[in-house]
Amino acid sequence: MGFLLSEKYRLEIHWDSVEKDPNQGILYFRGAYFSGPALNAADKINDKDEIRLDFCSQYTILVKNVYIATFAWEGVTYKDKKIYLNKATLSYDQDVEGIPTLNNKDHIVIDTKNHENEKHYYNMFYPAFTVNKENELYNFRS
């Protein structure tokens, strides 16, 4: 199952390892970093910040409404065309059943098309997709 996304606007979140807190609805990432062509046009990222990721188009079979998760970090380091993120977390709604447990080889792809400077303030969420180690979308319809 593929998805269309202009390479220019592709931003990825990768990590070395991920741990889930089953009681809090939080994923903790070690060795997390942003990469991808979107960094070529990106403004400097705040040292401590968060973005809201909209997984609805991929998870629509699992959720009745929107599915928004908050990806946050505390500390950034620019190195080798990547932005490394300290204390990276993903907070999500615990009430949704069937959401995949992310593995260390998975990654998240973000569409930044509507987040150029002139459009960013009109778009609160970033469309996002979970992708497995084979670079394929998780398919919840099968």
And the tokens for 66?
């929107």
d(CA 114, CA 20): 30
User: Which residues, other chains included, contact 97 with Cβ-Cβ below 8 Å and sequence gap of 6+?
Assistant: 62
Local confidence pLDDT in tens for the 142 residues of the chain: 345 567 888 999 999 999 988 777 889 999 999 999 999 988 899 999 999 888 766 555 444 445 678 999 999 999 999 999 999 999 876 565 555 578 899 999 998 886 555 555 556 788 888 888 888 876 654 4
pTM of the prediction? 0.81
Domain ranges of the chain: 7-94+101-131
Number of H helices, E strands in the chain: 2, 11
Contacts 24+ apart (CB under 8 A), 56-60: 57/127, 57/129, 58/3, 58/128, 58/129, 58/130, 58/137, 58/138, 58/140, 59/96, 59/99, 59/140
